[in-house]
């Protein structure tokens, strides 16, 4: 399975055609939130309309909560707090972010995120041999560092070792790939600045080949 993952376009889609060209033919596209920059929700229709492959999308903390209704109407699959399968791979989604000092539009308490993810992960393990979490927030202490310190989500960190792959964004300064407790974590960087990730997943062996893209 060949997956193109991106996040944090923040309403600026000018680099996306170049990202798509650089990635080539893919089976699936994943969008890890911050589709807009505090709205308007309808921009999501523009972004999702750029993709001609199955697309999984979640909101970010800089999206309005009402964007979920627009995603439901779009060509994409709204994965926020939901489960979706492709072949023998199960995908679960958690949009928004853990609370921030900035009181952004879509923030969720850690306890609520934890309860949702525990439920989804248990269901996902029953549906697929390989489990992928699409999360806007990175796990705490994993590709989540800003100048002031680590600001990731502790509930997402609790998924380390429980899911096979976490695709996230949110923390623009710390894009990259890490392996923690048997889980591969990918922070895609900012699509608005031409960053994305190409993931080659062997569904049978679980082997990953990950390439950071920059256009």
User: Residue for token digits 């989604």?
Assistant: 93
Task: Write out the residue range of the structural domain in which residue 116 sits.
Answer: 2-214
The predicted pLDDT at position 206 comes to 87
> Rounded to two decimals, what is the model's pTM?
0.98
User: Total structural domains in the chain?
Assistant: 1
The predicted pLDDT at position 63 comes to 98
CATH number at residue 14: 3.60.21.10
20-78 pLDDT, tens digit per residue, is 999 999 999 999 999 999 999 999 999 999 999 999 999 999 999 999 999 999 999 99
The predicted pLDDT at position 102 comes to 95
Q: What own/partner pairs with CB < 8 Å and gap ≥ 24 does 99-105 have?
A: 100/61, 100/151, 104/38, 104/61, 104/62, 105/38, 105/39, 105/61, 105/62, 105/63, 105/64, 105/65
130-159 pLDDT, tens digit per residue, is 999 999 999 999 999 999 999 999 999 999
């Amino acid at each position: 399975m060949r997956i193109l993952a991106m996040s944090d376009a923040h309403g600026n889609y000018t680099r996306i055609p170049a990202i798509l060209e650089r990635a080539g033919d893919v089976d699936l596209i994943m969008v890890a939130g911050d589709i807009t920059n505090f709205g308007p929700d309808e921009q999501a229709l523009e972004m999702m309309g750029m993709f001609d492959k199955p697309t999984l999308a979640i909101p970010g903390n800089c999206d309005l909560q009402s964007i979920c209704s627009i995603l439901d109407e779009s060509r994409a699959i709204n994965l926020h707090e939901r489960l979706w399968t492709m072949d023998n791979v199960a995908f679960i989604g958690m949009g928004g972010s853990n609370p921030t000092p900035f009181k952004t539009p879509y923030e969720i308490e850690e306890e609520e995120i934890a309860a949702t993810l525990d439920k989804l992960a248990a269901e996902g393990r029953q549906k697929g041999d390989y489990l992928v979490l699409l999360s806007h927030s990175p796990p705490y202490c994993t590709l989540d560092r800003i100048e002031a310190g680590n600001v990731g989500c502790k509930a997402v960190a609790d998924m380390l070792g429980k899911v096979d792959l976490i695709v996230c964004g949110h923390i623009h300064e710390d894009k990259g790939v890490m392996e923690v407790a048997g889980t591969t974590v990918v922070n895609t960087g900012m699509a608005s600045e031409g960053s994305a990730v190409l993931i080659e997943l062997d569904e049978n062996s679980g082997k990953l080949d990950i390439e950071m893209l920059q256009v």
